[in-house]
């Protein structure tokens, strides 16, 4: 697509107001590029079809890097060697890995966070100059980035709220710190994106331009699980059927292991398969180790995920009840739909809307019964219905919704400025 460059110093016409193809985006992501693919990465891939995008990975300390290397098996196996600098993903998308020069303990001391924001802004401006970026859209996916606002001569600020971060802090003092930083981020943003009505109520009190845009799905990738030419992952080929599967983060924040143990005890003939990064305390849990029908497969390359999903007979969301799950819009809900596989889930607000496509179980007994029914009663017609529903929730549509919302907010703001 040819990108028309407009003169930003001229008097704006109606065609020049709002979000334009000439506007660059600097996105401060929530994680390493496609280490565990999430909303920021998928959104920026779509945005890069119409804008130049610079994706900035989190700014971390050398201490954080060393801890990951020493104690995180998944990091050692799958994360690339620490190489800072920028790399080209597509013709319009660049990923920048800052050197690990952040001061540690920024979550404890506000002055350290402020120093880190100044240092990160200086590094990002250097990359922007090399890429020819000017007056970008600052797109923040972390609550603690309010100190970045105003440092890039940005045209506008977006806060893409992908999680309720207070949930991950145990102390009330820590929760207050998160709340203060997030309120500042929301108030400084031109538009705030949240995933559901529950988050809208929480964040919308700080910014009237708060818009609900749920998670989405890479249809082309996850529908491969329904393609006859896609091979089943060899790790699953010899496991007893049915294979009751889950893929994603395997930790106690998310997975209800009491439910998993119940299923393993009551149905020793089932293969309970969890695919994804396994937390160290889960890996060493003696309660789980005694079950021969529970299988863990650590984080897999992105291109292999459809092969594992194809091997599942039933896809599950056995989440631990928590505030974070209540406020979530899990990617795997839409990714499971794209496979056409039957889905069984514990109840939470986001999944209740999909009760025509997902079996929702409100007790361990009901969960086991739903899995049994899904395995025995699935049909191609039901699979096709699930896949058609997934198409409505593509990342292309989600990103366009965000573009339109930002455009409308900027049109109003710039229109007022032009008339002043």
On whether the CB atoms of residues 330 and 317 are closer than 8 A, the answer is: yes
Query: What is the rounded CA–CA span in Å between residue 355 and residue 347?
Result: 10
Mean pLDDT of 258-282: 95
Domains of the chain plus CATH, in order, are 14-216+394-419 (3.40.50.2000), 219-391 (3.40.50.2000)
> Shortest CA distance to 331 belongs to which of 310, 350, 304?
350
Q: What is the mean pLDDT of the chain?
A: 90
Query: In the prediction, which pLDDT does 84 show?
Result: 86
Task: Please report, for residues 266, 274, 310, 324, 366, the alpha-carbon distance to residue 258 in angstroms, rounded to integers and kept in the order given.
Answer: 12, 15, 26, 18, 14
Which tokens hold the place of 128? 């922007």
Q: Packing angle between helix 380-391 and helix 331-339, nearest 10 degrees?
A: 130
Q: How confident is the model at residue 284 (pLDDT cuts 50, 70, 90)?
A: confident
pTM across the whole model: 0.89
Cβ 261 vs Cβ 272: under 8 Å:
no
418 pLDDT tier (thresholds 50, 70, 90): low
Q: What is the pLDDT of residue 191?
A: 97
Task: Give the 3-state secondary structure of residue 399.
Answer: helix
**pLDDT value, residue 103:** 94
Residue 76 confidence (pLDDT): 44
Q: What is the reported pLDDT for 240? A: 97
Tokens of 362: 């409100």
Exposure class string for 261-298: b at 16+ Cβ within 10 A, else e: bbbbeebeebbbbbbbbbbeebeeeeebeeeebbbebe
Residue 398's pLDDT band, with cuts at 50, 70 and 90, is: very high
On the question of pLDDT at 170 being above 90, the answer is: no
DSSP 260-326: HHHHHHH-TTSEEEEESPBPHHHHT-HHHHT-TTEEEE----GGGHHHHHHH-SEEEE-BPP-HHHH
User: pLDDT at position 419, please?
Assistant: 64
Dist CA 329 CA 350 (whole Å): 6
pLDDT tens for 16-75 read: 568 888 899 999 999 999 888 899 999 999 999 999 999 999 999 988 877 766 666 555
* Average pLDDT rounded to a whole number, residues 280-297: 92
> Burial level of 9, CB count in 10 A (0-12/13-18/19+)?
exposed
SS3 sequence, 76-124?
HHHCCCCCCEEEEEECCEEEEECCCECCCCCCCCHHHHHHHHHHHHHHH
Structure tokens at 93: 């998308």
φ/ψ of 141, rounded to 5, equals: -115, 10
Query: Which one-letter DSSP state was computed for residue 16?
Result: G
Q: Which of 349, 311, 310 is nearest to 333 (CA)?
A: 349
Residue 9 clears pLDDT 50, i.e. is over it:
no
Other beta carbons less than 10 A from residue 231's beta carbon: 12
The answer to whether 208 and 408 have CB atoms below 8 angstroms apart is: no
Percent of the chain with pLDDT over 70: 91
């Amino acid at each position: 697509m040819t990108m028309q460059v407009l003169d930003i110093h001229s008097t704006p016409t109606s065609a020049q107001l709002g979000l334009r193809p000439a506007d660059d985006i600097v996105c401060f992501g929530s994680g390493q590029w496609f280490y565990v693919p999430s909303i920021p990465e998928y959104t920026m891939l779509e945005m890069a079809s119409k804008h130049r995008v610079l994706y900035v990975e989190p700014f971390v300390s050398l201490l954080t890097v060393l801890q990951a290397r020493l104690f995180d098996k998944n990091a050692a196996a799958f994360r690339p060697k620490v190489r800072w600098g920028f790399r080209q993903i597509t013709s319009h998308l660049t990923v920048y890995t800052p050197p690990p020069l952040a001061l540690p303990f920024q979550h404890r001391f506000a002055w350290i966070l402020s120093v880190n924001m100044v240092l990160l802004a200086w590094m990002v401006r250097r990359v922007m100059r090399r890429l020819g970026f000017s007056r970008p859209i600052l797109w923040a996916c972390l609550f603690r980035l309010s100190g970045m606002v105003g440092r890039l001569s940005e045209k506008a600020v977006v806060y893409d709220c992908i999680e309720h971060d207070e949930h991950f802090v145990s102390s009330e003092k820590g929760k207050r710190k998160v709340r203060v930083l997030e309120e500042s981020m929301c108030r400084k943003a031109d538009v705030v994106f949240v995933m559901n009505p529950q988050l809208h109520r929480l964040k919308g009190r700080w910014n009237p331009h708060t818009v609900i845009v749920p998670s989405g799905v890479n249809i082309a990738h996850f529908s491969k699980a329904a393609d006859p030419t896609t091979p089943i992952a060899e790790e699953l080929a010899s496991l007893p059927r049915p294979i009751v599967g889950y893929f994603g983060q395997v930790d106690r924040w998310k997975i209800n292991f009491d439910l998993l143990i119940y299923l393993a005890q009551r149905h020793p003939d089932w293969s309970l398969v969890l695919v994804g990064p396994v937390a160290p305390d889960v890996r060493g849990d003696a309660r789980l180790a005694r079950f021969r029908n529970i299988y863990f497969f650590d984080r897999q390359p992105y291109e292999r995920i459809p092969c594992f999903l194809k091997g599942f007979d039933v896809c599950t969301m056995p989440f631990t009840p928590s505030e974070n799950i209540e406020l979530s819009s899990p990617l795997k809900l839409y990714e499971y739909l794209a496979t056409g596989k039957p889905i069984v889930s514990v109840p939470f607000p986001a999944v209740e809307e999909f009760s025509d496509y997902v079996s929702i179980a409100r007790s361990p007994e009901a969960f086991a019964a739903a899995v049994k029914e899904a395995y025995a009663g699935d049909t191609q017609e039901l699979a096709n219905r699930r896949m058609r529903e997934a198409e409505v929730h593509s990342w292309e549509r989600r990103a366009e919704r965000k573009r339109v919302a930002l455009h409308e907010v900027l049109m109003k703001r710039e229109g007022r400025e032009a008339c002043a």
